Amino acid sequence: MKKLLIILIIGILYSSCAYKKAEKDKKTEEVKEIVQSVTENLEKNEKGILNIIDTYQEIMLVQKGDKCGEWGGDTDEIRIYKTKYKGEILADYKKTIVDCNNPYSQKNKPIVKEKKEIALNNSELNLAQESITELINYKLTTEKRISHSGIGNYVISRDSTLTVQHWPSFGWPKFRKLVEQIGKK
């Protein structure tokens, strides 16, 4: 009788978990459809590429690495902006490299590499916009977890009307590709 009762309880718990997983999968698919719809509408726009950028508005894309564990790691920053109203869209790139042997040392300042006023072509602008969309999609479809270390990914507009922060996060492939392309210039 006890075995039958235990089997019945396990069966009920199992079926309950399967039902919750199906609900979670359905919500994830709905979020993916919404993100896809927003992305497609952006692409149908006349220019469709980072129209938010003007002489008053800029966007920062930032990735903080995890090579030093809970002390963080290297940081890649891309600032996208315009200097003239009808001018081209520019980017500043900054990489901060930290020493993991002593990340808070006053003796070992981080190494900073910078490139300024890099003109972005349409391919790079598309990649920047895809990076933002990729991070939003990842944030909306990934379950929150608690961690003491990990990669941090951020998209922040100057006026904070667009802020996406995700930590611990993922490798952000579109952003890495953008960093690589900007690094070649």
Residue 9 lies in a domain: no
Domain total in the chain: 1
The answer as to whether 47 is a domain residue is no
Cα separation, 135 vs 149, whole angstroms: 18
54-64 residues labelled b (16+ CB within 10 A) or e (exposed): eeebbbbbbbb
Whether 18 is covered by a domain: the verdict is: no
**Structural domain range at position 146:** 59-183
Instruction: Give the pLDDT confidence of 100-120 residue by residue, as tens digits.
Output: 887 566 667 788 999 999 999
pLDDT digits (tens, 9 = 90+) for 58-96: 999 999 999 888 778 899 999 999 998 888 999 999 999
User: 166, 175 in Cβ contact below 8 A?
Assistant: no
Is 89 a member of any domain? yes
Residue 8, domain member (yes or no): no
Any domain includes 84: yes
Position 103 in a domain = yes
Decide if 22 is inside a domain: no
SS3 32: helix
pTM above 0.85, yes or no: no
